Chain A
Amino acid sequence: MIPVVIPPDLWEGEAEGAVSAWLFADGDAVRQGDLIAEVMVEKTSYDVTAPASGRLEIRIPAERPFKRGTVIAAIA
């Protein structure tokens, strides 16, 4: 199981991010490097790519705030 984690040094302080859009559904097959989500934090749009190929397991739904370092999904 490969975690999909937003880099913990991407932003500073206690601000929370949120997935503005998942580009694949839970359970979809993804390939390493696929653009799988867009995260919004501090008026910044950040592209999330799949770290490995496999089945996407979404842990954080769109629009739910999360702190930096959170595992937002995993690749099984």
Chain B
Amino acid sequence: MPPSPEPAPEPAQACWDIRDASLELGGVDGDATLLADLAVPPHRPVARLWQAAPCLVVPHRLSDITLFDHAAARSARRGWPVVTRASGGHAVPLQPGILNLTLAYPAASGWSIDAAYRHLVGILVAALRATGIDARIGEVPGAFCPGRFDLSLGGRKIAGTAQRRRPLPGGGSLVLAHACLLAEGDLAPALAALAAFERELALPALWQPARAATLAGALPPAGLLPPLAAAIRSVLRRTRPPGYMPADHCLRELAHHGRAS
């Protein structure tokens, strides 16, 4: 009986290009070129795990505010330089211990903003469950930069999300979906820097620091970042990017991995 032929190699688009696995302080700049890179063949989806040195990251529309340059300069003098980003939402602090996951991939028409958020947080929920943490999806009233697809633990925000979308000429879009997970470290100075910056922009005070927490603040073990990053990579390796699968199949696959973890 002749041997079975070797299976055809999977196309590059079928799996994530996982970058920055060492969790070095890659910074916000690394996300800036992802969409442009994705527009060029082979269009391989990228999953980037990264941290940043202390900074405040703001949607670039805030830079149109008259007081922005003055407030940004004062924030930089306090040790919290201000960086603009392309995705939506509000200003957020970043620092070592806040683990960022950025997914960049092409998606077909019908892959809605909500579907992309469910996919993004599905990866995090599955990874957190694998480390024994059962996070809830939903807005946390009173937390900074609130969103319907935040993650919380014990009623306090532990992760936030945002997206950027660029339509493709033939239909569909390039998606950049970002989540920042408050894993460990002292949030108080970061939130104080954020509050001071927003006061200097004359923005209303709409959130309370106590509505957010790190995972390390809720759980005893220290050194959460390495096992969390490993769990996220494990989920990414076991699932396919949305652009390679029908939308509903992708979400079912994530739900299965979440239950199986």
Contact = CB atoms under 8 A, between A and B. Distances in A.
A binds B: yes
Given A11-B114, A40-B61, A45 B109 contact: no
Nearest to A41: B113
A45 B112 contact: no
Interface string B156-194: 000001111111010000000000000000000000000
Given A20-B61, A21-B61, A40-B61, A45 B87 contact: yes
A35 B199 CA distance: 33
Contact of A10 (B89, B112, B161): B112
Interface of A: 7, 9-13, 20-21, 33, 38, 40-49
Nearest to A32: B169
A43 B162 contact: yes
B161 A43 contact: yes
B148 interface: yes
Interface of B: 59, 61, 64, 86-89, 109-110, 112-114, 117, 145, 147-148, 161-167, 169
Given A33-B169, A49-B167, A44 B61 contact: no
B167 A44 contact: no
B148 A45 contact: no
Contacts of B64: 21
B134 to A, nearest CB: 24
Contacts of B59: 40, 45
B114 A42 contact: yes
A43 B166 CA distance: 14
B113 A44 contact: yes
Contacts of B112: 9-12
A63 to B, nearest CB: 10
B162 A44 contact: yes
B113 A42 contact: yes
B88 A44 contact: yes
Given A12-B112, A12-B114, A45 B165 contact: yes
Contact of B87 (A9, A10, A33, A43): A43
25 contacts: A9-B109, A9-B112, A11-B112, A11-B113, A13-B114, A21-B61, A33-B169, A40-B59, A40-B61, A40-B88, A42-B88, A42-B147, A43-B145, A43-B161, A43-B163, A44-B113, A44-B163, A44-B165, A45-B86, A45-B162, A45-B163, A45-B165, A46-B164, A47-B164, A47-B166
